[in-house]
Structure 1
């Protein structure tokens, strides 16, 4: 078992590397400025895998999430997170991101079921992040839900990534049983629906919590 300070150093080092890469991309004028946001969005979420592998304590994940949530709220008034949020931005996505990490850690870490927390966070980061990039760059078939505009290409990317993540995480952690494929498809469809109907960054809350909760419930019922 590694000492706690080494675990913290690994996680902080990963976050520092992600932040440095995003800042480098942000200063590169030829790079679409949405790319640094997605690097942080996806890269930061991957810290849940480090926490799972290193078996970090529950209090560490919750404490880090609380600090991140406070920083996110302050960043809406002060430029604490340049390139991620802008002052006066009408979205609480970064705040909801931190709340999701803290909430899923508090829910699944004490019961030794981190795979569900990882599932929810990674669907939010990889699924939602890639869906946005695909939709913005290749979305040729838009659809509208009230005032929300999405593309079928982006939603398809969200569904496929979510399905693959669910199969991979639950398969590796609990076995490749037959119902896993259908279970993962249901979670992917739900996550895609939650992402499609979300606005003002609330998908950073509904997608991870909804995906994790549904996967957990279906796992108890089907497997």
Structure 2
């Protein structure tokens, strides 16, 4: 009996799906057994799911796969605000749509930059949000002894500095890998870091999960269009 070969794309989809399932499982178990506080559980998911963009890029997943996945994730996120589908990820009644915005931003960036054959910009936008915002929140909560307020939101200089440093490290590393050690790499990365940090400072309703990745990727792409043309 001849077996029908499974197309590579479906193998790759299964690999990414397995990775995401592991992240969510770890988060839910951590929540269930009180291994981490709720905010840290959410950051595990926040950072872990963002890394999936690297898998999607490396495996060259078709755009429709990531867009469909982000749409499903966004719908689940909306439902989970009312029903305890994933209590470790979203608290019922929580006054933030960050998880929903996160899913939307991933879909938008993939649709935008996969179409241009420039997945590195989608990766920059998503990873700046995942790692920069994730660790800014954790550092700010643990070591934020110098607070400031903007737009009614309380932040800390320690958290914002973390956002700048990590965002710069991510943007410069990816740009250096793609376009090399040129002055545009380092200056564009700095602009991305500053824009991302400014937008992260205003995170009412979790809107930074949309504005930070879109602006980071957009500024990066726009400046390179100008300076590398």
Shorter-chain TM range is over 0.9
| TM-score normalised according to structure 1 size | 0.96
Choose the corresponding residue for 1:126, options 123, 127, 131: 131
Q: What is the DSSP-based 3-state SS (H/G/I as helix, E as strand, rest coil) of the residue aligned with 2:206?
A: coil
- Give the deviation of 1:86 after TM superposition: 1.3
Aligned position for 1:23: 28
| TM-score normalised according to structure 2 size | 0.94
Which stretch shows the higher mean deviation, 153-162 or 71-80?
71-80
Please report the RMSD computed on the Cα atoms of aligned residues, expressed in angstroms.
Answer: 1.2
Distance 2:202 2:94 in 1: 20
Structure 1 residues 9 and 101: alpha-carbon distance in aligned structure 2, compared to 1, 3 A threshold: same
Aligned position for 1:222: 227
- Give the deviation of 1:171 after TM superposition: 1.1
TM superposition outliers: structure 1 runs of 4+ over 6 Å: none
Aligned position for 1:207: 212
Q: What is the DSSP-based 3-state SS (H/G/I as helix, E as strand, rest coil) of the residue aligned with 2:115?
A: coil
Aligned position for 2:189: 184
Aligned position for 1:198: 203
Choose the corresponding residue for 1:7, options 3, 7, 12: 12
Q: Rg: which structure is higher? A: 2
Any idea what the Cα deviations from partners look like across 1:28-84, whole Å, max 9, x if unmatched?
435333221111000001000000000000111111111111111111111112111
Say how many residue pairs are matched.
222
Aligned position for 2:165: 160
Distance 2:141 2:125 in 1: 23
Q: What is the DSSP-based 3-state SS (H/G/I as helix, E as strand, rest coil) of the residue aligned with 1:149?
A: strand
Unaligned runs of 5+ in 2: 1-6
